[in-house]
């Protein structure tokens, strides 16, 4: 992987992240004891571009070595410089392109890697979520950690984690229950 701005002293980015959260009027949960430095983090909801800003800001203030999966169309000059510097990885959403396998391979190469993504895959209302996160976590044998942007309380919250089992459907149900307890409903397949 390429070097990112997060390789620059993390303390400065942590301070700037805390300042940005304060300016936005948001609060955040500290990293929970169950947080693994090698994991897939999923976040809900994704309704505005500000959700991405809040996610990137939190990643920096918590000093997490995270790579955020971002739609490839956002990687244009000069935005691409900023996104890559902040740890963004471009994703072509029209085709799989072996992306799951390449992320799993990256997990196998690194001792400390967090991949963050939004299973909704878009800011629009969706009837189903994308499940690539599960295949990545399963293939890399890493946990899935659930993160929630509570827009009502203006708080970034950690909700829990699961280890992928043998059944995608069973694991999705566990994840739905975790988010349901926080007051958010994940779309079900119609």
Q: In this predicted model, what pLDDT tens digit does every residue of 104-163 receive, in sequence order?
A: 988 998 888 899 888 765 555 656 787 889 999 999 999 999 999 898 899 999 999 999
**Residue 190 pLDDT class (50, 70, 90 cuts):** very low
Distance, CA of 21 to CA of 52 (rounded, Å): 13
For the cut 80, the answer to whether the pLDDT of residue 176 exceeds it is yes
pLDDT at 102: 81
DSSP H or E stretch at residue 87: none
pLDDT at 169: 93
Helix, strand or coil, per DSSP, at residue 75: coil
Distance, CA of 136 to CA of 75 (rounded, Å): 22
**Per the structure block, which two tokens stand in for 85?**
């510097």
pLDDT at 94: 63
> Are 14 and 65 in contact, with CB atoms under 8 Å apart?
no
The mean pLDDT of 9-26, rounded to a whole number, is: 85
pLDDT at 12: 82
Q: Which residue has the higher pLDDT, 94 or 1?
A: 94
| Mean predicted lDDT score pLDDT of the chain | 82
Q: What is the pTM of this model?
A: 0.80
DSSP H or E stretch at residue 17: helix 10-24
Angstrom CA distances, 168 to 33, 78, 135, 177, stand at 26, 38, 9, 14
């Amino acid at each position: 992987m390429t070097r990112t701005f997060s390789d620059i002293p993390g303390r400065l980015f942590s301070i700037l992240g805390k300042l940005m959260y304060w300016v936005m009027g948001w609060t955040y949960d500290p990293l929970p004891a169950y947080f693994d430095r090698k994991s897939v983090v999923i976040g809900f909801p994704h309704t505005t571009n500000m959700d991405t800003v809040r996610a990137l800001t939190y990643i920096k203030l918590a000093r997490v070595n995270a790579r955020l999966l971002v739609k490839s169309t956002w990687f244009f000059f000069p935005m691409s410089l900023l996104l890559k510097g902040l740890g963004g990885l471009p994703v072509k959403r029209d085709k799989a392109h072996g992306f799951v396998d390449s992320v799993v391979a990256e997990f196998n190469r690194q001792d400390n890697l967090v991949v963050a993504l939004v299973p909704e895959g878009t800011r629009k209302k969706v009837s189903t979520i994308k499940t690539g996160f599960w295949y990545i976590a399963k293939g890399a044998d890493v946990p899935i950690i659930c993160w929630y942007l509570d827009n009502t309380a203006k708080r970034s919250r950690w909700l829990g984690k699961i280890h992928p089992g043998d059944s995608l459907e069973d694991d999705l149900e566990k994840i739905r229950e975790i988010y349901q307890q926080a007051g958010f409903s994940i779309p079900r397949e119609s």
